[in-house]
Amino acid sequence: MTALRLTEPDLDFIKELQKTGGESLKKCFQCATCSVVCQLSPDNNPFPRKEMIWAQWGQKERLVSDHHVWLCHQCNDCSTNCPRGARPGDVLAAVRAQSIRHYSIPGFMTKIVQDPKLILVALAIPVLYVLAMLGVDGHLSTLIHPPKAEVEYGSYFLSHLTLNIMFTSAFVIFLLGGLVGLTRFINDMKKTDPIPGDKDPGFIKAVIAAFFELLAHRKFKKCTAGSNRYFSHFGLFYGFALLFIVTSIVVLLILVAPDTYPINSLSNPLKLAGNLGAILLIGGGLIAIYDRLTTPDLAGQSSYFDWFFLLVILTVGITGLLTEIARFTNASSWAYWMYFFHIVFVFCLLCYLPYSKFGHLLYRFFAIVHSKRVGGYPE
């Protein structure tokens, strides 16, 4: 085995981890209780014990490219059983944040999104962008003097064309930065834990298997300490999926059949699906927040990284629902503001995906794929 030549442990990395949720990482004394109680940990090369000592020794490269870190669903069985109060679940969460920061480009975007001191900057970007969109449409005044007529977002506020083009292009650009990061991550994973030839099911098969596993939320069912997580994540995931699909369909619809929009009937299947999604999303988000506030030792300590994502996605749901209610009740005094903030937060959700906790969508999925290809993945 090649020896690890250690010149300097990365003390800054350790301090970063400690600041972003892993403050107890030094308490670990390597008993491996965590690896044993973790229901998601494979027998061969289990986690998170070795991740804890790597964290203690500042082994940044090792950790950010470790697929095991993403197998963790932070159910917190490890943290509740840890005899030293080292909270491995929280440490891994901090590592995941650092991993995203390490890979996604550009670096200054990750800083803006992850650093609590820069929250105003993070919010200012979408605010300015949406104002720019309004400027393009010449509807800046709607915010100050909302028209007293029926609420019609497309006519008085943001034309769907402007919104869709400008928003989608921004999203795609940021997503590219995320995909670059993802590719680097996947390559580093292969270097750290190479895929052996014999048991590899192949990329496609692994992706399909991971996808169906995700749909069933099988892993979430296994956790005992954070068992509410199954419900909160189910709601958030399916809520978001529904809303994303509906919104994408609507974007297409507007392109090909612009007269069908806006949809005024609540019994329209799209509307039904969207509202269902909203309810799932908000419900899941509220359960998550409740857990994190009332039982932090079961749910895990929540860092800025966690709250940012959770509050953003919940706000997206709530503002979206309220925007719809405002339209149907013609509450023109606040409808446009609501829609404004809705878009700002959708921006934070989607465009910041590569830099925020939402990035787990990419990183975790492909880490699981890698795990399945490496072998020993507990099914």
Partner 1 sequence: MDTTVGVFLCTGCGIDEAMDCEALKKVAESEYKVKCFHSHKKLCNPDGVELIKKEISEQGLNRVVIAACSPRVKTEVFHFDSPEVFQDRLGLRELVAWTGEPKHEDTDMLAQDYIRMSIVKVQKGAPPEPFKEEISKDMLVVGGGWTGMHSALDLASAGYKVHLVEKDDKLGGNALNLAKRVPMNPPRREPEEPDIEDLIGKVQADANIDVHLATEIQRINGQPGLLDTDLKSGSEEKHVRVGAIVSAVGYRPYDPAKLAHLGYGTSPDVITNVDMEKMLKQDSLKKPSDNGSVKKVVFIQCAGSRDPDHLPYCSGVCCAETLKQARMLRDADKDIKAFILYRDMRTPGLLEDFYKSAQDDPGIFLTKADVKEVKSEGNNLVVAAENTLLGQDLELEADIVVLATGMVPNTLDNEVLKLNYRQGPDMPVDRYGFPDSNYVCFPYETQRTAMYAAGPVRQPMDAYQSRVDASGAALKAIQAVEEISRGAAVHPRAGDLTFPEFFLQRCTQCKRCTEECPFGALNEDEKGTPQPNPNRCRRCGVCMGACPERIISFKNYHVDQIVSMIKAVEIPEEDEEKPRALCLICENDAYPSLDIAALNKQKLNPYMRFLPVRCLGSVNVVFIADALSAGYDGVLLLGCKHGDDYQCHFIKGSELATKRMENVQEALQRLVLESERVRIEELALSEWRRIPKIVDEFMETLEEVGPNPYKDM
Partner 2 sequence: MSSENVGEAKNEGILVVGGGISGMTAAVEAAEVGKKVYLVEKEPYLGGRVVRMNQYFPKLCPPVCGFEINSRRIKQNPRIETFVSTQVKKITGRPGAFVVTLETKASMVNDNCTACGKCIDQCPVERKDDFNYGMAKTKAIFLPHAMAYPFKYVIDPSVCKGKDCAKCVEACEYDAIDLDAVPVEFELNVTSVVFATGWKPYDATRMENLGFGKFKNVVTNVMMERIAAVDGPTGGKIQRPSDGKEPKSIAFVQCAGSRDENHLAYCSGVCCMASLKQSTYVKEKLPDCNMEMFYIDLRVAPRVEEFSVKVQENEKLKLTKGKVAEITEDPSTGNLTVTAEDTLAGEKIHREVEMVVLATGMEPNPVVKELVPDLEFDEHGFVHPETTDKGIVGAGCAKAPLDVYSSVQDATAAALKAIILR
One-character DSSP codes across 307-323: HHHHHHHHHHHHHHHHH
Counting beta carbons within 10 angstroms of the beta carbon of residue 299, is it exposed (0 to 12), middle (13 to 18) or buried (19 or more)? buried
For residue 227, state whether it binds partner 2 (rule: CB under 8 A).
no
Distances (CA, A) of 183 to 5, 103, 211, 350: 26, 9, 19, 19
Closer residue to partner 2 in complex, CB, 83/107: 83
61 scored as a contact of partner 1 (CB under 8 A): no
Q: Write the burial class of residue 371 (CB in 10 Å: 0-12 exposed, 13-18 middle, 19+ buried).
A: buried
Do 336 and 153 meet the contact criterion of CB atoms below 8 Å apart? yes
- Residue at 174: amino acid letter: F
Q: Does 27 bind partner 1 (CB under 8 A)?
A: yes
Contact 356, 115 (CB under 8 A): no
Kind and range of the H or E element at 354?
Answer: none
**Is residue 46 a contact residue for partner 2 (CB under 8 A)?**
yes
Task: Count Cα atoms within 13 angstroms, Cβ side, for 258.
Answer: 7
Instruction: Give the shortest CB-82-to-partner 2 separation in angstroms.
Output: 8
> Based on CB atoms, which residue is closest to partner 2, 44 or 267?
44
15 binds partner 1 (CB under 8 A): yes
| Tokens linked to 130 | 């949406």
Range in contact with partner 1 (rule: CB under 8 A) among 55-63, 119-127, 137-145, 364-372: 55-63
The reply on whether position 49 binds partner 2 by CB under 8 A is yes
Binding mask 71-110 for partner 1 (x = CB under 8 A): -------------x--------------------------
Residue 366 found at the interface with partner 1 (CB under 8 A): no
Structure-token pair, residue 375: 């072998």
Query: Which of 18/80 has CB closer to partner 1?
Result: 18
Cβ nearer to partner 1, comparing 22 with 285: 22
64, 210 in Cβ contact below 8 A? no
- Our finding on whether 196 is near partner 2 (CB under 8 A) is no
Residue bearing tokens 């309810």: 279
What is the longest distance spanned by two Cα atoms in the chain? Answer: 74
Q: Is 259 in the site for partner 2 (CB under 8 A)?
A: no
Interface with partner 2, residue 85, by CB under 8 A: yes
Task: Report the distance separating Cα 299 and Cα 228, nearest Å.
Answer: 8
Q: CA 38, CA 242: separation in Å to the nearest integer?
A: 31
Q: Applying CB under 8 A, which of residues 42, 88, 226, 300 lies at the interface with partner 2?
A: 42
Q: How far is the CB of 252 from partner 2 (least distance, A)?
A: 49
Our finding on whether 4 is near partner 1 (CB under 8 A) is yes
Selected from 18, 81, 164, 295, the binder of partner 2 by CB under 8 A is 81
Residue 110 partner contact from partner 2, partner 1, none using kind-dependent CB cut-offs of 5 to 8 Å: none
- Site for partner 2, rule CB under 8 A: 29-37, 41-46, 49-50, 81-85
- Site for partner 1, rule CB under 8 A: 1-9, 11, 14-15, 18, 26-30, 50, 53-54, 56-57, 59, 84
